[in-house]
Structure 1
Amino acid sequence: MSDTQPMIRLDDFLKAAGIVGTGGEAKVRIQAGEVLVNDVVETRRRRQLRTGDEVNWNSEVWVVEVTVDD
């Protein structure tokens, strides 16, 4: 995996995907251990996600696709 691959922070992903309404809600849910990344509980809201990572919350799974605007 290349270090130049585009990434998005977990809290930003949750907001962008419409999973949570605010950054504050993202922080609470992540720090409470409610969010899994690639089937592992993730409590770091600044966790960097790459395309292909899977985010699981409330028994729903989202596959991350990070794109870069030119």
Structure 2
Amino acid sequence: MEIIKLRDDYIKLGQALKAASLVSSGVEAKIVIQDGLVKVNHDVEYQRGKKLYDGDIVDYNGEQIKIVK
């Protein structure tokens, strides 16, 4: 599981995928999110700008990202 430490109160979903190196670009993040391949807290998320807060878990392509403050 990849851990992303927040510098602010939140990070956007597309940015989190890039920060964890699960996608190579914002465009790729947009595509995989729109295709319904990304889950936030076990629910499919279609908004690239979804704000992630402390404790949120992102699932994509068999990998997990945990957001911590």
Shorter-chain TM-score category?
Answer: 0.7 to 0.9
- Identical columns (%): 42
Q: Which structure is larger by alpha-carbon Rg, 1 or 2? A: 1
CA distance in 1, matches of 2:19, 2:62: 19
Give 1 or 2: higher strand fraction.
2
CA distance in 1, matches of 2:28, 2:65: 18
Instruction: Flag as ranges the 4+ runs of structure 1 deviating above 3 A.
Output: none
Matched, 1:36 2:49: no
Long gaps (5+) in structure 1 = none
Q: TM-score, normalised by structure 2?
A: 0.83
Equivalenced residues, count: 62
Alpha-carbon deviation of 1:17?
1.1
Q: TM-score, normalised by structure 1?
A: 0.82
Q: Give 3-state SS (helix, strand or coil) of 2:68's partner.
A: coil
Give a deviation string over 1:10-54, Cα, whole Å, max 9, x none: 001111111110000000000000000000000000000001100
